Structure 1
Amino acid sequence: MLAELPGDPFLVAIRKVYAVQGVAIWFVSLPIQVSAAAGGGIPLVAVAGALLWVVGVVFESVGDHQLATFKADPANRGTVMDRGLWSWTRHPNYFGDSCVWWGIYLVSASAWPGALTVLSPVAMTYFLVFATGARLLEQHMAERPGYREYQARTSSFIPRPPKRERTK
């Protein structure tokens, strides 16, 4: 792709890849930056943010471990992971990541200037759900055997109990 663009490939890479990523990282990390500069805030809000962050890290870790264990079993080859957290949401890792960013935001928002950075977790959640995360993975997985049925019974992002199959 970079070879098709006119100009020095190094400069094209800087402009098209690294500059865009740099701006995105700066924007998404604004709550951390503001929180570091703002100092103390409302402890209850900061504790709620820290707890949400822990929930997110645990959700991501457990989901990733469950998927790795599932994939390691040759009997599961070609099947859809629909157990554990994966029976409650098709994307436990993305949901957990979103919780991490919202938790960081809440810690930041415990002090006044931090509340102004709300668009950072909104943007991150948008990327995780619609832009690069879940949406792209769903397109990739759509044609796998059993995936449409899995989609019909399992929440896309926010964890919910799986829908029961209707009996005829």
Structure 2
Amino acid sequence: MRNSVAFVISLLVTLLALGLAVLLDDGAQHLAGLPLLAALALFAFAVQWLVFIPSFLRQTEHYYDLAGSLTYASVILLAAGLGAPDARGGVIAALVLMWCGRLGSFLFRRVKRSGKDGRFDDIKPHWGRFFMAWTFQGLWVFMTLLAALIAVTSPAASNWDVWATLGLAVWVAGFAIEAIADRQKSAFRAEPANRGHFIRHGLWAWSRHPNYFGEILLWTGIAIMATPAMAGWQWLGWASPLFVFWLLNKVSGIPMLEKRADKSWGGDPEYEAYKASTPVLFPRPPRH
């Protein structure tokens, strides 16, 4: 893809996100002359673009995941500071901070240990394609946070109720699954005897990508918690977990990892048996 085409795609993605933010904003608050949701979306993109500049100049992706996590934290804190959230919105903001703190530090340590992130090998030398990757991270932050931002900034949010309790339970389950799966895989990779092998125990015996299942589940929990705060077009806040599912299942998550795994172990009888008996995403008890 040419740099100019990638840059145009980046601009279109940004305008699409800003248009959605304006559509969903309740008009009660503004920031820098913009509807609050639009200002928060623009802030998410601006942070990515600022970090892109030194990253491209130094040809490094080491700060990509860290920048994403810090943007999550910054956006939700800014929204909470301006929106004066109720108990529901305050808990949602705290959950987002817990998630991005754990995942961001985990991903940053992982890329520092490995020395590089293979996703960026082909695009780093091309400024337009690398810029597009950072722009899409801004879209990822805003779209994933959409339901949370509606709840945190909406004056129509109700007090704590069954939706909040149910959503919190779903979030806790998803957070635990993601954290346990990440820890199991890190421990597996830390053993020299496992070098060149694939993990297939623990949660990884139930799903080939249990961490991604946990990720989708926890954002579904946030959307459930935020449901009473939604009205009119704001029901599109449910696009948040749907976007996470689409992104991980069709774009940058599972397809890339499955392709990489097939390249490493394709044809290995044990790996082929593991693939045949273990679901890609949604867990089920292992078959023996």
Asked if these proteins are the same fold (TM beyond 0.5), I'd say yes
Find out whether 1:33 has 2:137 as its counterpart.
no
Find out whether 1:24 has 2:140 as its counterpart.
yes
Q: Deviations over 1:12-39 (max 9, x none)?
A: 5796344443233222211011101232
Give ranges in structure 1 of 5+ residues lacking alignment: none
Q: What residue number does 2:3 align with?
A: 5
Q: Distance in 1 between matches of 2:196 and 2:136?
A: 36
- After TM superposition, the score normalised by the length of structure 1 is 0.83
- 1:126, CA displacement in angstroms? 0.8
1:20–1:86 distance in 2 versus 1, CA, 3 Å: closer
Q: What residue number does 1:150 align with?
A: 274
Q: Distance in 1 between matches of 2:130 and 2:192?
A: 42
- Give the aligned length: 162
1:2-81 to structure 2, matched below 5 A, reads: 5=3, 12=128, 16-38=132-154, 39-40=157-158, 43-81=161-199
Per mean C-alpha deviation after superposition, the further-off stretch among 80-89 and 14-23 is 14-23
Q: Deviations over 1:65-85 (max 9, x none)?
A: 111111111222222211010
Q: Deviations over 1:75-103 (max 9, x none)?
A: 22222211010000011111111111101
SS at match of 2:237: coil
Kindly indicate which of the two structures has a greater share of residues assigned to helix. Answer: 2
Q: What residue number does 1:126 align with?
A: 246
Give ranges in structure 2 of 5+ residues lacking alignment: 8-51, 54-126
Letter in 1 for 2:236: L
Which residue of 195, 210, 225 maps to 1:107?
A: 225
Q: What residue number does 2:285 align with?
A: 161
- Percent sequence identity over aligned pairs: 30
User: Once superposed, what is the RMSD of the aligned Cα atoms?
Assistant: 2.7
Q: Distance in 1 between matches of 2:225 and 2:281?
A: 23
* Highest RCO, 1 vs 2 (Cα 8 Å, sep ≥ 6): 1
Q: Deviations over 1:144-163 (max 9, x none)?
A: 14322211111110110122
